[in-house]
Amino acid sequence: MPKRAYVLALACYLAIPVVLIAGATVFSLSDPEWARHSANYSRNYRLLDMARTGAVLGAGGLAVVLWTSCCYLVLTSRQRSLRWLPLAAAGPFGFAVIAALEDRAPAPGDFHQRFMRKLGIYWRVPLEIVVFVALWSLTYEVVVFKRNLTIAFESLTTGTPAATIIAQQAASSGMWAAGEGMEQIYLLILIYLVRPIFFNLVGYLLGGRLLTPAPRSQVAQQRR
């Protein structure tokens, strides 16, 4: 089982899109023009506008807190120095370093840390570089596939030609590129967080059988 701090780190990271979507929803549903029927239109308009802006800023600030807490909890779960925490500002590049840090007090059944320790520093560094490049390419392809799937679904449900939808997206390519870039980064970091859990699960399922001592009768037959 993963450590409690690591589970909390994963929970903090999964909460980030929920917070951002909630803030964006409040912003889109709030309309300062609701104040036009009130006695003091100008004051109420400013208050409503400040409220919807505050929802976005608050959601963004909370997302930063959750991200920092995620990195902090990963370091805490591995009993690493908090001097590594400023790497959180580097986004996926910094987290790749944090995720590669060795656990100084691994759990007895932590197959991931056991495997990493056997590799040694000279093999781990190039391995982590290869893993980062591979995951970066993989997440990019996933985002592209999701984009094409979304275009096909919208074209099917609305009857709009796919070429028209693509042209509309190209007209605001900067916004779409930023959104897809955030999706790719989020998916990349999520894979880094889930990777040790998945590795340990596979190790438990396979290693539980492979590491179980053979019966004495089989050992005796092998010696013969």
Structure tokens at 127: 């391995």
Give the type of residue at 182. M
Q: For 192-210, how does the pLDDT look when each residue is reduced to its tens digit (9 = 90+)?
A: 999 998 888 887 777 654 4
Position 216 confidence tier, pLDDT thresholds 50, 70, 90: very low
What burial letters (b/e) apply to 62-75, b meaning 16+ CB within 10 Å?
Answer: bbeebbebbbbbbb
Tokens 């093999």 map to which residue?
A: 123
User: What pLDDT is recorded for position 197?
Assistant: 87
Q: For 124-143, how does the pLDDT look when each residue is reduced to its tens digit (9 = 90+)?
A: 889 999 999 999 999 999 99
**Backbone phi, psi, residue 97, to 5°:** -70, -45
- Distance, in Å, from the CA atom of 42 to the CA atom of 35, rounded to the nearest integer, reads 8
The pTM for the full model equals: 0.81
Task: Classify residue 78 by its DSSP letter.
Answer: T
- Distance, in Å, from the CA atom of 150 to the CA atom of 148, rounded to the nearest integer, reads 5
Q: For 161-187, how does the pLDDT look when each residue is reduced to its tens digit (9 = 90+)?
A: 888 877 877 777 677 778 888 999 999
Q: For 57-112, how does the pLDDT look when each residue is reduced to its tens digit (9 = 90+)?
A: 999 999 999 999 999 999 999 999 999 999 999 999 999 999 999 888 887 777 88
User: What pLDDT is recorded for position 217?
Assistant: 46
Q: For 1-25, how does the pLDDT look when each residue is reduced to its tens digit (9 = 90+)?
A: 678 899 999 999 999 999 999 998 8
73 and 6 Cβ atoms separated by less than 8 Å: yes
- Distance, in Å, from the CA atom of 219 to the CA atom of 202, rounded to the nearest integer, reads 26
Query: Looking at the predicted structure, is the pLDDT value of residue 147 above 60?
Result: yes
Residue-averaged pLDDT of the chain? 84
Position 119 confidence tier, pLDDT thresholds 50, 70, 90: confident
